[in-house]
Amino acid sequence: MTGVRVCFFGRYDPHTLRHSLIARCLARAGADVVSIRDDRALWRRTMPLAARAVGAPRFDLMIVAFRAHSDMAAARLVCSLRRVPLVFDPLTSRYEERVIDRRLALPRGVLARWYWLTDLVGCRLADRLLVETDAQADWFSRTFRVPRARCRRIWLGTDEAVMRPGPARSGGAFTVLFYGRFSPLHGVEHIVEAAARLERRGDPARFVIVGGGQTYAAVRALAERLAVTTITFLDPVPYPELAGLVDGADVCLGSFGTAARAARVIPYKVFDALAAARPVITADTPAVREALTGGEDAWLCPAGDPAALADAIAALEGDPDLRARLARNGRRVFEERLSADAITRDLTAMVSELVKGGRADHVSR
């Protein structure tokens, strides 16, 4: 991609791992990555953003990234005027995230309708739609009536400068680690119930649960009601500090929620564990099966099933060789298919489809 200039546009969040990883991978492939960004309210930023983009030096591809859904109409206008392709990387549906999962707006309210509209318009205006799994691509295509051929799977990945193989665990209590924002997708309540089951069996496994968020209060109340003593709750820590916690864990946990979106995504914590060569247990979902094979490179169990999760933890606790094999194979899968190198290859292929000889090869509408 040497000589190709990629422009990120709109009120996207530059601090997300998703954005930083894609920007780094594009740069690794030889692209020149530039930004036209504005944090002001939509009505104040739209015209200035569009004017800056229309008058900016040459760029060959525009990307509207996570949190900038509302800027897709302006981006489409700019790209039409400059005859360059437009890529939308929504990461998630704003309506599904904010209305269904987080319940921040009434389903039939004005704000919910706005979220739905920005999802719909954004997806339909894009020449390419980046999604994190094929399951998510199918859902976006079906829900917003976008041709499936426009969707491209780009894995979430992780920051490999932070999450990398550490020293092998030796000695101390068997430790199970979970961290996250306590979204309903994570199903942290099922982890607490699994810990209670293991404690009743006399299992000495210790749990470390890190983070805070939407379901935190309910999860803490559940732990108190079940009188679980094997869980240590920690406040959120900066991302670099998570690497030390991962190194100190015998097993890392993914997500176990039963919400519809949970079946279509793979959380960052799974990529983190694979990159750090730690065995991971996560829910058996269509999305996870796109990347991993149960019993080979990860341990998969039914979502929303604390008994199955407790059995999975006990199985890995009692079999060090199994843990070592899952960790080794998981790291191999990460290197081959899920790493920054692999994401760079996927992005290069996508950009090559759209940009040829510095000119846009537009998708027919």
Domain-wise residue ranges, the chain = 5-157+340-356, 175-338
Rounded-to-integer distance, Cα 82 and Cα 96, Å: 33
Question: pLDDT of 1-25, one tens digit each?
Answer: 889 999 999 999 999 999 999 999 9
What distance lies between CA 62 and its chain's CA centroid?
A: 21
Q: Which two tokens stand for residue 159?
A: 């920051």
**Alpha-carbon distances of 235 from 120, 181, 242, 353, rounded to whole Å:** 37, 10, 12, 44
If you search the block for the tokens 């917003």, which residue do you land on?
144
Q: Could you tell me the pLDDT band of residue 359, with boundaries at 50, 70 and 90? A: very low
Given a contact cutoff of 8 angstroms between Cβ atoms, the answer to whether 256 and 186 are in contact is yes
Q: Give me the residues paired with residue 210 across strands.
A: 179, 234
Which of the four CATH numbers 3.40.50.970, 3.40.50.1440, 1.10.238.10, 3.40.50.2000 does domain 175-338 have? 3.40.50.2000
CA distance linking residue 209 with residue 179, whole number of Å: 6
**Surface-to-core class of residue 83, CB atoms within 10 Å of its CB (0-12 exposed, 13-18 middle, 19+ buried):** exposed
The beta strand positions in 221-364, using DSSP E, are 231-234, 251-253, 280-283, 299-301, 355-356, 359-360
SS3 159: coil
Q: Which CATH class is domain 5-157+340-356?
A: alpha beta
pLDDT digits (tens, 9 = 90+) for 284-343: 999 999 999 999 999 999 999 999 999 999 999 999 999 999 999 999 999 999 999 999
pTM of the complete model = 0.94
Quote the radius of gyration of the chain (alpha carbons, Å).
Answer: 22
pLDDT at 1: 82
Fold agreement (5-157+340-356, 175-338): yes
The closest of 264, 335, 271, 318 to 298, measured between CA atoms, is: 271
* Kind of pairing between the strands at 359-360 and 355-356: antiparallel
Dist. CA 120–CA 94, nearest whole Å:
10
- Cα 348 to Cα 26, 128, 341, 342: the distances in Å are 7, 13, 11, 10
- If one compares 169 and 184, the residue with the highest pLDDT of the two is 184
Query: Could you tell me which residues come within 8 angstroms of residue 357 by beta carbon, excluding any fewer than 6 positions away?
Result: none
How does pLDDT run across 180-217, given as a tens digit for each residue? 999 999 999 999 999 999 999 999 899 999 999 999 99
User: Is 204 in a helix, a strand, or coil?
Assistant: coil
One-letter amino acid of 242: L
pLDDT at 357: 43
Contact 170, 139 (CB under 8 A): no
